[in-house]
Amino acid sequence: MSRRGTGPPLLTLVVLGVLAGCQATGTDEPPVAASSSASAPVDDQRFPDVLEAVAECAGTTCDLEVTISSPYDTPQRYADGWRVLTEDGVVLGVHTLAHDHASEQPFTRTQRGVEIPREVEAVVVEGRDQEHGFGGRTVTVTLPDR
């Protein structure tokens, strides 16, 4: 089942992450998707926007497939990752991108192995760019029953 919604931008502790691949998980759990609704005008966009996020979980370990739109305007300013937070701002994981996606907008990548406590029912995904840091449109993902 999909649920759509938005969460507030959350500025909290920044934790460095590890670049992950984009392979299927092989679990039988159905994915849960969410997407955002509000957007800044493109010419005013400072931060990358998270457009959609899908979570597949096995127990407390979740893989998140995240789609981001970046206001890419120079090689020195590109969406270089995102973070996964609880709805009250606790950072659960950070995904770092190693290169720009200038010719691929929006783009989708997968973060694997995010440990999410069983009591957490939803997470917020927030984008980051090299110049402005974290911010922009977020997506709240309701996690599947685990």
Confidence tier at 7 by pLDDT (50, 70, 90): very low
The distance from CA 18 to its chain's CA centroid, rounded to whole angstroms, is 14
Specify the pLDDT at position 2: 37
Strand partners, 94: 83
Average pLDDT, rounded, for the chain: 74
Top-level class of domain 32-142: mainly beta
Of the chain, the percentage scoring pLDDT greater than 90 comes to 47
Sequence-distant (6+) residues with CB within 8 A of 83 are 14, 15, 17, 91, 93, 94, 95, 125, 126, 128, 134
pLDDT at 141 > cutoff 80: yes
* pLDDT tens column, 59-99: 999 999 999 988 766 777 778 899 999 999 999 999 998 86
Q: Among candidates 19, 15, 18, 2, which has minimal Cα distance to 126? A: 15
Residue 28's pLDDT band (boundaries 50, 70, 90)? Answer: very low
